[in-house]
Amino acid sequence: MERHGRPMGGFASSPVKVGDELDVKIEGVGEKGDGLAKKDGFVLFVPNTKQGDQVKVKVTRVLRNVGFAQVIGQGEATEGSAGTPPEGSGESYGEESTEEQGPSESQDSEDF
């Protein structure tokens, strides 16, 4: 029996396979806290990520309806994406305050 061109119960063949390296955007967070990404509608669970992350992942396991992947690097930013400017771009969003910096910010500035 088919529904929308796919066999009922899942994909005829997964759009990903173990070992695939993909740039994905984390679209949500699952019940156990893993990030959720999609590749051609196929759900991938990606631990240690949060919604909105753009990451490069390596597929580690593929089941009938879902897959699992590990982060192997930062994903490539898409054109027109909002957020933080690329490092070293010299651009800044919002006002910077040099008076009240948290511990992590002051440690970062010491490295320069």
- Distance, C-alpha 45 to centroid of its chain: 10
CATH code that applies to domain 14-77: 2.40.50.140
Asked if residue 85 lies in contact with residue 92, where contact means CB atoms within 8 angstroms, the answer is yes
Question: Of 58, 60, 51, which Cα lies nearest the Cα of 25?
Answer: 51
Provide the CB-side half-sphere exposure for 89 (13 A, CA).
7
Indicate the domain borders of the chain.
Answer: 14-77
CA-to-CA distance for 107 and 112, rounded, in angstroms? 10
| One pLDDT digit (tens) per residue for the chain, 112 residues | 444 544 445 556 789 999 999 999 999 999 999 999 999 999 999 999 999 999 999 999 999 999 999 999 987 654 434 444 344 444 443 444 444 555 555 455 555 5
Whether pTM exceeds 0.75: no
pLDDT at 89: 40
- Reduced to 3 states (helix: H, G, I; strand: E, B; else coil), residue 71 is strand
